[in-house]
Amino acid sequence: MSDEGDVRLPPEAVEAVCRHMNDDHAEDCRTIVRGLAGVEAERARMTGLDGRGARFQVEARGERSEVLVAWVSPPADRAGVRVEVVRLLESARAALGPTDDRDGAR
Protein backbone atom coordinates (compact mmCIF):
# COMPACT_ATOMS: atom_id res chain seq x y z
CA MET A 1 0.00 0.00 0.00
CA SER A 2 1.14 3.53 -0.48
CA ASP A 3 1.79 6.20 2.11
CA GLU A 4 -1.81 7.39 1.75
CA GLY A 5 -3.72 6.67 4.94
CA ASP A 6 -2.70 4.55 7.91
CA VAL A 7 -2.62 1.13 6.24
CA ARG A 8 0.77 -0.45 5.65
CA LEU A 9 1.12 -3.72 3.79
CA PRO A 10 4.22 -5.00 2.02
CA PRO A 11 3.98 -5.01 -1.78
CA GLU A 12 3.79 -8.81 -1.88
CA ALA A 13 0.70 -8.74 0.36
CA VAL A 14 -0.99 -6.17 -1.88
CA GLU A 15 -0.14 -8.33 -4.91
CA ALA A 16 -1.58 -11.40 -3.18
CA VAL A 17 -4.84 -9.61 -2.34
CA CYS A 18 -5.18 -8.34 -5.92
CA ARG A 19 -4.37 -11.75 -7.40
CA HIS A 20 -6.96 -13.42 -5.14
CA MET A 21 -9.63 -10.88 -6.04
CA ASN A 22 -8.92 -11.15 -9.77
CA ASP A 23 -8.61 -14.93 -9.85
CA ASP A 24 -11.40 -15.88 -7.44
CA HIS A 25 -13.70 -12.84 -7.30
CA ALA A 26 -13.54 -11.19 -10.73
CA GLU A 27 -17.29 -10.66 -10.88
CA ASP A 28 -17.26 -9.11 -7.40
CA CYS A 29 -14.66 -6.59 -8.66
CA ARG A 30 -17.01 -5.69 -11.50
CA THR A 31 -19.95 -5.38 -9.08
CA ILE A 32 -17.95 -3.03 -6.82
CA VAL A 33 -17.03 -0.81 -9.77
CA ARG A 34 -20.58 -0.80 -11.13
CA GLY A 35 -22.26 -0.16 -7.80
CA LEU A 36 -19.86 2.29 -6.18
CA ALA A 37 -18.11 4.03 -9.06
CA GLY A 38 -21.06 4.00 -11.45
CA VAL A 39 -18.99 2.53 -14.29
CA GLU A 40 -20.74 -0.07 -16.45
CA ALA A 41 -17.53 -2.02 -16.95
CA GLU A 42 -17.30 -5.16 -19.01
CA ARG A 43 -14.23 -6.07 -16.95
CA ALA A 44 -12.71 -4.83 -13.70
CA ARG A 45 -9.40 -5.94 -12.18
CA MET A 46 -8.10 -4.88 -8.79
CA THR A 47 -4.69 -3.29 -9.39
CA GLY A 48 -3.82 -1.98 -5.95
CA LEU A 49 -4.98 -0.66 -2.62
CA ASP A 50 -3.89 1.89 -0.08
CA GLY A 51 -5.32 3.82 2.85
CA ARG A 52 -7.78 5.62 0.58
CA GLY A 53 -9.35 2.62 -1.12
CA ALA A 54 -9.06 -0.09 -3.75
CA ARG A 55 -7.92 0.68 -7.30
CA PHE A 56 -9.39 -1.09 -10.29
CA GLN A 57 -8.52 -1.09 -13.98
CA VAL A 58 -11.80 -1.10 -15.84
CA GLU A 59 -12.74 -1.76 -19.44
CA ALA A 60 -15.91 -0.06 -20.57
CA ARG A 61 -17.01 0.45 -24.17
CA GLY A 62 -13.58 -0.50 -25.48
CA GLU A 63 -11.67 1.96 -23.29
CA ARG A 64 -9.54 1.35 -20.21
CA SER A 65 -9.39 3.58 -17.18
CA GLU A 66 -8.48 3.37 -13.52
CA VAL A 67 -11.00 3.87 -10.75
CA LEU A 68 -10.41 4.36 -7.02
CA VAL A 69 -13.22 3.08 -4.81
CA ALA A 70 -12.94 4.53 -1.30
CA TRP A 71 -13.07 2.28 1.75
CA VAL A 72 -16.10 2.47 4.02
CA SER A 73 -13.59 2.53 6.89
CA PRO A 74 -9.84 2.34 6.11
CA PRO A 75 -8.40 -1.02 7.17
CA ALA A 76 -5.55 -1.23 9.66
CA ASP A 77 -4.04 -4.50 8.39
CA ARG A 78 -4.45 -7.36 5.89
CA ALA A 79 -7.32 -8.92 7.83
CA GLY A 80 -9.02 -5.54 7.78
CA VAL A 81 -8.65 -5.38 4.00
CA ARG A 82 -10.80 -8.50 3.68
CA VAL A 83 -13.46 -6.99 5.93
CA GLU A 84 -13.45 -3.76 3.92
CA VAL A 85 -13.63 -5.50 0.55
CA VAL A 86 -16.68 -7.41 1.79
CA ARG A 87 -18.20 -4.08 2.94
CA LEU A 88 -17.53 -2.58 -0.50
CA LEU A 89 -19.24 -5.53 -2.17
CA GLU A 90 -22.25 -5.34 0.16
CA SER A 91 -22.52 -1.57 -0.41
CA ALA A 92 -22.26 -2.05 -4.17
CA ARG A 93 -24.98 -4.69 -4.17
CA ALA A 94 -27.23 -2.43 -2.11
CA ALA A 95 -26.59 0.48 -4.48
CA LEU A 96 -27.42 -1.65 -7.52
CA GLY A 97 -30.65 -2.85 -5.95
CA PRO A 98 -32.24 -6.21 -6.66
CA THR A 99 -30.20 -7.42 -9.63
CA ASP A 100 -28.40 -10.49 -10.75
CA ASP A 101 -24.91 -9.01 -10.50
CA ARG A 102 -23.40 -12.16 -11.99
CA ASP A 103 -24.55 -11.28 -15.50
CA GLY A 104 -24.91 -7.52 -15.18
CA ALA A 105 -28.71 -7.57 -15.57
CA ARG A 106 -30.55 -4.64 -14.09
Tell me the domain boundaries of the chain.
11-92
Class of domain 11-92 as given by CATH: alpha beta
DSSP symbols for the chain: --SSSS----HHHHHHHHHHHHHH-HHHHHHHIIIII----SEEEEEEE-SSEEEEEEEETTEEEEEEEE-SS--SSHHHHHHHHHHHHHHHHHHH-S-BTTTTB-
Please write the tens of the pLDDT for every residue from 24-64: 999 999 999 999 999 999 999 999 999 899 999 999 999 99
Report pLDDT digits (tens) over 60-99.
Answer: 999 999 999 999 888 988 899 999 999 999 999 999 998 6
pTM of this structure: 0.84
